[in-house]
Every structure is written in C-alpha cells, then in structure tokens.
Homo-oligomer: A and B are copies of this chain.
Amino acid sequence: MARITASVYTSHVPAIGAALDLGKTAEPYWQPLFQGYEYSKAWLQDNQPDVIFLVYNDHATAFSLDLIPTFAIGTAAAYQPADEGWGPRPVPTVIGHPELASHIAHSVIQDDFDLTIVNKMDVDHGLTVPLSLMCGQPQAWPCPVIPFAVNVVQYPVPSGRRCFNLGRAIRKAVESYDQDLKVQIWGTGGMSHQLQGPRAGLINREWDNRFLDRLISEPEALSQVSHIDYVREAGSEGIELVMWLIARGAMSDSAPLVKHRFYHVPASNTAVGHLILENT
C-alpha cells in the first residue's frame, strides 16, 4: 500500500530560481534565504520519497486564457521546464509517474472532484523552484513527480475548504494504491505577496506566521478562511496559499511532527514561508 509520509510547504518565487541558476546563492541578499533550506536538503536526502505529488499553480505558462482548469493532474511520462520568457530554466526534465497519477485521478474523480487530466504540458517556476530549493542543482531530480496545477490566476479560484477536502481525497487515493510507495505531497506558492498595482510589495508578517501556526495545529478551521481575507491580508497573489491546504489535507488526522519551519522576507516581492511536516 502506498502512503503519504510527509508534506513540504514552500514559496516558489521565480527570482529564487534565477538566483540559483545564476550562481547568486552566496550573495548577502540571498544567503539567508538559502540558509533556511539547508536543513531541508539534508532532510530530503535522509527521507527520499518514491514519488512527490507537487501542488503548484501555472503562471500563464501551460495554460493561457484559452483554457483554465480549476484542478489539473499530470499523468504524462515527462514534463519539460517551460520557457517563461527568459528562456527555459537549466534544470532537469521532470519525470512523471503515470500509473500513480492515473490511479489518483480515477479515485478522486469518483469522489466528486472534477479534475482535468493532462498528458502534455511544460512546467514553470511554480513546480521547478520548489524542486531546486529542496534538491539543489542535481543532474536529475531524485524521484518521479506528479504535477498538480491549481487555478489561482483567474477568479474565482477554488476555496480553501475545497482544497482541504481535495487533499483528503488524495490521501484516500494514495492509500488505495497497491504498490508499496512512499509519497510526499508538497504545497507551494505564497506567502504574502502582491505583484500588481500601487499596493505591490505588501508583506504581512504577522498574518503569515499565524497561517503557519494554524496550518500545523488547526488546518480544518484554517480552511474556512475566505478568498477575500487572503487578498486583503496577504496580497492579491497571497491567494496561492490555498494550495498549501491541499497538501495539509492529505496528511493524517493526527498531529504531525514539525521537522522544520522557516520564514524570511524578502525574496524579490515576496515573503518566503517553509514547513516540513511528517506523519507520525
């Protein structure tokens, strides 16, 4: 039986990818941020999963306005890093896990989540930056990855509650897979950020930290927070945080072990938050 062993939460700011790719990680601006992921890289080495289920959002890369899936699951064999306008990031191809991805799709669609199944797409910084933060700059990513894209670009986006319940359905799906796989689920995006308008650059340190507290201790209550609260308190792009609730919903109901917690301002326009939770 497959099972979810741990969940990882992290921002996926594109500038972090650029800093890595351009060799700037030791610069004073970036050093404290990458320092915060040193533990995480070691932890991942010691806790290698067989598959990573990676929840992220596409930033007008694979999905234009022609077609906007609320939830899209990748069942392909491989995904190329996208050219987002600066040229593709120099990172490895992402290898998928078609069998487990299809199994999860099958199960959660029967549980009334109306997924879009995707067999061909490029993946943008939303997916590759978390891999870089957790794995550094390897020749190949350490294991297959199932990309799970959430619409947080065009309103309405799915509610926190919907995301949390989806996480639960994913947990059930993983646990019904008959191969003995260790699966990690990663929730990415956030924390506070606003990338647009006169209000750009908003950071709400207090709100972010309260979000981290509640994500650990009372995720179901946290999932009741409305869209408008995210936007008002964490900025227009802070809404990405609903994706963390998918990962959290996939964890077991008992209290998780907090292996790592990190918070830093700034990365480009954004606050960076990071958590590692293990199932006990």
Contact = CB atoms under 8 A, between A and B. Distances in A.
How many monomers of this chain does the complex have? Answer: 2
Contact of A112 (B68, B116, B159): B159
Given A69-B69, A156-B106, A159-B110, A116 B116 contact: yes
A117 interface: yes
Interface in A101-129: 106, 109-110, 112-120
A1 interface: no
Interface string A143-159: 00000000000111011
A71 B70 CA distance: 10
Contact of A120 (B66, B69, B117): B66
A106 B156 CA distance: 6
Contacts of A112: 158-159, 162
Most chain B CB within 10 A, of A115, A155, A158, is at A115
A22 interface: no
- Size class of the A contact interface (CB-based, 8 Å): 20 to 34
Interface string A186-215: 000000000000000000000000000000
Contacts of A109: 70, 156, 158
A114 B158 contact: yes
Interface in A30-84: 65-72
B66 A119 contact: yes
12 contacts: A65-B119, A66-B120, A68-B117, A69-B69, A70-B109, A70-B114, A70-B116, A106-B155, A112-B158, A112-B159, A112-B162, A114-B114
Task: Enumerate the 5 nearest inter-chain pairs by beta-carbon distance, A residue then B residue, closest first.
Answer: A114-B114, A70-B114, A66-B120, A69-B116, A68-B117
